[in-house]
Structure 1
Amino acid sequence: MTENNAPIIDFKGYSIKNLEYTREVSKIKNYKAGFNYVPSVKVNNDYSKAILTLQITLKRDDENFGIDISIQGQFAISSVMVKEGKNEIAKALFVNGTAILFPYARSIISMITGLDSSSTVLLPTVNTMELWKQSKDNNNQ
């Protein structure tokens, strides 16, 4: 925790920006196979607020369906983190923000797939620290 035990990022809520669930073969073929997950971060000019977007796609050929969801979480950034700078804010959002936001996306996907069939999809958990390391490695290449 930081000064006065305040959180470094404060989750303000989320919204679904895009949600597509399909069994149409013509659409499914455009999806990347398997479970794919891409987070992205946008921070305002004074670093006091940020948006974390999770783009998730899932394609299961054996069950002939595809899911594409984009969910955005809004966060307030603590003054301690603002002093740390943009890189530390991005790390906090990739690691902690993803851990906060991912269960919402997981729940939405489970709910949608459960409405369509008896085989509800439960997404795997995500190692957010490893995700951050991969992101840094990709940016350094």
Structure 2
Amino acid sequence: MAVLEFKSYTVNELSYRKNDLYKETNQNISINPKIEIKNTPKQDKIIVTVDVHIGSLAEKKNPFIVTASVSGEFVYHEKEDHNQVGIDTLIKKNAVAILYPYVRSLVSGITNASNQFPALILPTINVAQLLDEQSNRQEAAD
């Protein structure tokens, strides 16, 4: 049995909205996704949520805004953690790495379905680096 067991995922939110202010140019569209990660322990399971926000309705250079939110249910089997990696590390790295492809697929599908722009394929990410950057920003804000 795995140390971290992935039970299932659910889509919390998926939305696409066209930006009527968008002005088409010959320049490449610059879209910087904002990714948020939350985890919530609930009795013997852990719920990890990955939220992605892309674009803006306030800027002329963004053709759309997309929001996707996916939560996954995980179970930590402490007795199987022979290397003593720990629940925090497993949740922060492995759970997010498991859920992110679902978010990527949702974003690609909904942007492709718009039939106005090519599908937006989110880049793969280094989960550990992303979490470290978020942690550093949070500490600076506190």
Are 1:71 and 2:66 counterparts? no
- Paired letter, 1:66: I
Give the deviation of 1:94 after TM superposition.
1.6
Structure 1 residues 37, 105: closer, same or farther in 2, change over 3 A? same
Other-structure match for 2:93: 95
In the alignment, which of 2, 9, 28 is matched to residue 4 of structure 2? 9
SS at match of 2:113: helix
Give the whole-Å Cα distance in 1 for the aligned partners of 2:139 and 2:62: 38
Q: TM-score, normalised by structure 1?
A: 0.76
- Measured in 2, the distance between the counterparts of 1:14 and 1:127 equals 21
Q: What is the Cα-based RMSD across aligned positions, in Å?
A: 2.9
Could you say which residue in structure 1 is the equivalent of 2:28?
A: none
Cα deviation, residue 74, structure 1: 0.5
Q: Which structure has the highest helix share of the two?
A: 1
Is 1:131 aligned to residue 130 of structure 2? yes
Query: What is the distance in 2 between the residues matched to 1:105 and 1:126?
Result: 12
Q: Equivalent residue for 2:118? A: 119
Amino acid at match of 1:131: L
- Residue type of the alignment partner of 2:100: F
Q: Give unpaired runs (5+ residues) of structure 2.
A: 22-30
2:41 & 2:90 partners in 1: Cα distance?
12
Q: Which residue is equivalent to 1:30?
A: none
